[in-house]
Amino acid sequence: MKKATLYEKLGNNKVRCLACAHQCLINDGQVGLCGVRQNKGGELYLLVYGKPISVNVEPIEKKPLFHFLPGQKAFSLGTIGCNFGCDFCQNWEISQLPKTIDKIKETGYEMQHESWPPEAIVEHCLDSNIPMIAYTYNEPTIWTEYAYDIMKLAKEKGIKNVWVSNGFMSNKTLELISPYLDAINIDLKSFSDNFYQKICKAHIEPVKENIKKIWKKGIWIEVTSLIIPGKNDSNQELKQIAGFLKSISPDLPWHISAFYPAYKMKDIPPTPKESLIRAYQTGKETGLRYVYTGNIPDANYESTYCPKCNTKLITRQGTKVINNLLINNNQCFQCKEKIPIIY
């Protein structure tokens, strides 16, 4: 546990959390919507500081990020809690854990977490020659102060920082982390605020605005949309998402991921491969140069092609890079077109 910084004090021992767009008003003794930011006597504390519940070393392609240090490994960590309540959450066992009980202590979380202070994480990455740290598994915005301390140390040692986020961070949080953030994948879960309100317990506009802001800042960004049958897979909505991304940049990669029954959506069937291919084609027809499918392995739709001559440049199978034919790090070997991939 550590005192938070992203909040303001109000009267009667109340505080307003400033970490994400919810801007929770938290009474003394209570936690915000995320379940891990608690008001204690008019001061806000981060209950999961230094306490990730999941730690792994994984390929960066799993985040997914296909245009940032391809083929490299990332030290990945996440805590419990989330500022969303998505009915389809794949990691609901950890993201929704604080919301399933009356008191956080009753989770037994003190027994489950791993102890990873920021210094230990950076030292481990240096010792193991791991080039980047991924803040993932649950929403890193809710543990920004912990992530921020890691990111500052990592930046000093030449280690890259990558977020996997729902994009609902506040402008204050975005400004805080921007100098240390190298890349991010944001979930754009739908193009409907009704979907966000009913299924995710949030709103879409902060997500859209943050995607635009992050691109303008020059931080590398890729976007993922989980395609759920009957919920966000209409041709109209797919065109809206693709059109929005293209309006930011045709070079912004779009990952289209298959849904599998989970959490509160176990009655909905998995996404058919045909729906992913339809979304893929929609993205391409709209003018996006880099569109990828996920959760249904197919090298034809997971690989990077030259937008000028259509040569397959990076062949992928799932999260594995099978072949990389780029020359000079990011040029097509056939036509010398520059591909926006960061090495």
The verdict on residue 33 lying in a domain is yes
Rounded average pLDDT per 10-residue block, the chain, 343 residues: 96 97 97 95 96 96 97 97 97 87 51 82 98 98 98 98 98 98 98 98 98 98 98 98 98 97 96 96 98 90 97 94 94 97 94
Same domain as 155, residue 42: no
Q: How many CA atoms lie within 13 A of 334 on its CB side?
A: 9
Same domain as 207, residue 145: yes
DSSP-based three-state secondary structure for 30: coil
The verdict on residue 6 lying in a domain is yes
Same domain as 209, residue 81: yes
Alpha carbon of residue 85 to chain centroid = 15
Q: What is the pLDDT of residue 111?
A: 44
CATH number at residue 170: 3.20.20.70
Strand 160-165 and strand 132-135: the pairing is: parallel
Same domain as 272, residue 133: yes
* Cis preceding-peptide flag for 253 (omega within 30 of 0): no
Q: What is the pLDDT of residue 297?
A: 83
The verdict on residue 249 lying in a domain is yes
The verdict on residue 340 lying in a domain is no
CA-CA distance, 50 to 148, in Å (whole number)?
12
Same domain as 21, residue 138: no
- Per the structure, the complete domain to which residue 207 belongs is given by 54-324
Same domain as 205, residue 112: yes
CA-CA distance, 79 to 169, in Å (whole number)?
16
Same domain as 181, residue 155: yes
Same domain as 18, residue 64: no
The verdict on residue 17 lying in a domain is yes
Same domain as 63, residue 24: no
Q: What is the pLDDT of residue 99?
A: 77
Identify whether the C-beta of residue 173 lies closer than 8 Å to the C-beta of residue 195: no
E strand or H helix at 243, and its extent? helix 235-248
The verdict on residue 330 lying in a domain is no
CA-CA distance, 315 to 299, in Å (whole number)?
6
Q: What is the pLDDT of residue 263?
A: 95
Q: How many CA atoms lie within 13 A of 175 on its CB side?
A: 5
| Packing angle, helices 273-286 and 235-248, rounded to 10 | 40
The verdict on residue 314 lying in a domain is yes
Question: Count of domains in the chain?
Answer: 2
Q: What is the pLDDT of residue 21?
A: 98
CA-CA distance, 51 to 202, in Å (whole number)?
26
Identify whether the C-beta of residue 207 lies closer than 8 Å to the C-beta of residue 165: no
Same domain as 215, residue 154: yes
CA-CA distance, 84 to 96, in Å (whole number)?
9
Q: What is the pLDDT of residue 106?
A: 52
Give the dihedral sign, CA 245/250/251/255: positive
Identify the bridge partners of residue 294 per DSSP, sorted by sequence position: 257
Same domain as 128, residue 24: no
How do the residues of the chain divide into helix, strand and coil, expressed in percent and rounded to 5? 30, 25, 45
Q: What backbone torsions phi and psi does residue 203 show, to the nearest 5 degrees? A: -135, 155
Same domain as 40, residue 145: no
The verdict on residue 316 lying in a domain is yes
Structure tokens that stand for 276 in this block: 């992913």
Residue burial 251-288, b: 16+ Cβ < 10 Å; e: rest: ebbbbbbbbeebbebeebeebeeebbbbbbebbbebeb
CA-CA distance, 81 to 48, in Å (whole number)?
9
